[in-house]
Amino acid sequence: MPSATGTEPRKITINDVAKSAGVSRQTVSRALNDKDEIDSVTKQRVLDAARALGYRPSRFARGLVRQDTMTIGLVIPDLLNPFFTEVAAAALEAARTRGWQVVVYDTGDRAEEELGTLQVISSQVDAVIGYFSCPESELEKFTRGMPVVLIGREQRTRFSAIQIDGAAGVHAAVAHLVAQGHTRIGMLDHHTRAEPSIRHEWFTTAATAHGIEAGLMVPADQTADGGGSALKALLADGRHGDDRRTAPIVEYHGP
């Protein structure tokens, strides 16, 4: 995560550990790999230095050298949601073609489960891919030295990220409905914040571009029941309920 000066924190390397412990790189490598070539006192000094600096050996890099099987941690908010099921299936297929293993974690779309998952996978996988809502400082703390790819991260990130062109998708949906003669279009959106999400901004921009007023946005839980309840609330609104040409845009996730 960028610091207050706008620069990213420097990654701790094996050279930093060696300098702190007063030993060579080779000695650090032997200590971290539990080799017998060094005495126990020196080994403990190295381990203490690595822990104090927050150094994490790259399992990914070691695996590439030894040709071990890579293990990817895939973190998904809700596997019962068909959207995330498709994401998981695609990740599993991509890993299979490379001979990699994938361990899938379902956080239940809960922040506490997300942090617990990070703690578990930090020492069990070689790289992490998935959805995270926690601050990047938490991600950095648990995944230091590990490749990380975020999916659907709306804000700017220092990690690698895969974005879905949601703006184009919402614009296409609005254009289709306008072409069908609809003029009052509402939106169901999954978010838990008080302020509108980026998806609502896309919706408003698309509606304005087509010369119509953006309708009511109703927050929806990321479940079928949540979507149904939100749809009832949308249709009950005075701006929508009496118009047979009203067409809600339903979006349970829309990353």
pLDDT of residue 3: 40
Q: Which CATH architecture has domain 59-162?
A: 3-Layer(aba) Sandwich (3.40)
Do 59-162 and 166-250 agree at the fold level? yes
DSSP SS3 for 121: helix
Rounded mean pLDDT of the chain? Answer: 78
Confidence at 157, pLDDT banded by 50, 70, 90: confident
Burial of 246 (0-12, 13-18, 19+ CB in 10 A): buried
pLDDT of residue 208: 92
Q: Please count the CA atoms within 13 angstroms of the CA of 199 that sit on its side-chain side.
A: 26
Highest mean pLDDT out of 14-28, 60-74, 110-124: 14-28
Confidence at 57, pLDDT banded by 50, 70, 90: low
Residue that wins the pLDDT comparison between 63 and 87: 87
pLDDT of residue 104: 92
Which strands sit side by side in the sheet containing 101-106, from one edge to the other?
Answer: 101-106, 71-76, 127-130, 148-151, 160-162
Per-residue buried b or exposed e for 207-233, using 16+ beta carbons within 10 Å of the residue's own CB = beeeebebbbbbbbebeeeebeebbeb
Q: Which CATH architecture has domain 166-250?
A: 3-Layer(aba) Sandwich (3.40)
pTM, entire model: 0.60
CA separation for the pair 57, 12 (Å, rounded): 10
Confidence at 179, pLDDT banded by 50, 70, 90: very high
pLDDT of residue 1: 40
Residue spans of the domains in the chain: they are: 14-53, 59-162, 166-250
Per residue in 98-129, pLDDT (tens digit) is 889 899 999 988 888 888 888 888 777 888 99
